[in-house]
């Protein structure tokens, strides 16, 4: 079995990013770790407000469904 690569970040780095987000008034809901091509690490801490509003998605879906229904109801031109 080959040797594992070194971790690009440590556990404490992730904990520090979460604590910083909380200190800034953000209640973390998710964290994304982005590894850069040069080995740099970026933590993206996402809060509850980062998620899209589900009622807006439902309204948008209904609008699309209504437009599709109109197109299907329109008689096709031709012979």
Residue-wise pLDDT for 22-53, tens only, equals: 999 988 989 998 888 887 889 999 887 766 66
Model pTM? Answer: 0.52
Domain ranges of the chain: 11-73
pLDDT score, position 45: 92
40 bridge partner residues = none
**Structure-derived torsion over alpha carbons of residues 7, 12, 17, 22, reported in degrees to the nearest 10:** 150
* Between residues 48 and 20, the one the model is more confident about: 20
Tokens linked to 14: 């992730």
Task: State which H helix or E strand residue 56 sits in.
Answer: helix 54-73
33 bridge partner residues = 43
Tokens linked to 39: 């080995």
Tokens linked to 59: 């309204």
Tokens linked to 16: 């520090």
Range with the poorest average pLDDT among 19-23, 52-56, 58-62? 52-56
């Amino acid at each position: 079995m080959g040797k594992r690569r070194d971790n690009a970040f440590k556990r404490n780095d992730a904990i520090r990013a979460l604590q910083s987000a909380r200190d800034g008034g953000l209640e973390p809901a998710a964290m994304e770790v982005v590894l850069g091509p040069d080995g740099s690490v970026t933590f993206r801490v996402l809060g509850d407000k980062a998620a899209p509003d589900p009622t807006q998605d439902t309204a948008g879906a209904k609008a699309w469904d209504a437009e599709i229904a109109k197109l299907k109801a329109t008689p096709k031109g031709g012979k």
